[in-house]
Structure 1
Amino acid sequence: MGSTGEKSNEKQDQCHEFWDMVRNGKLVCASDYDPARGPYGKMHPNKCATCQSIFEQEANERKKNEEKSSVKPSNYAKNSPNEYTYPQ
């Protein structure tokens, strides 16, 4: 079953302890070294840094989705299935 939504919830669950450490939209982590592998296979210096990476990835995905949804229609007006009027 592993849908994307389930994976996202899984990532959020592993990072729940760090939500209160977010300041101005950024996760502030200590510099302790206790290597942790992120959900995308990359190694991070500690679990907090792993969660920081997850939060940034999710923010970037949200931003891309917002940009896609705000794309304006083309300047080309469609008159029929095979005919276009081009701007002058």
Structure 2
Amino acid sequence: MPLMFLLKLHHEQLPVRVADPEGLRYVSVLLATGLIEAQVGTLLPTARYASPRVATVTRITEDGLAEVAKMTNVPAFVKTSMRFARGLRLM
């Protein structure tokens, strides 16, 4: 759940260093969607295409903060999440 990871980051003092594989996947998704800014790299760049081993999250973007605001507004978040989960349009 990358969005739950984003919420966790919101409560941390940035910059935050992430080294676990699951956290790196979340950082990758959040970075690709523009919700955070981070530096991703390898500890020892020995291979030409080495997979990331560490990331440093430097900040949550304005879009990321908007997502956090949506998540903390529980009734609206649940309504929106259920609409997308069901593929229905609520009126």
TM-score range, shorter chain: under 0.3
Higher RCO, Cα 8 Å, sep 6+: 2
Larger Rg: 1
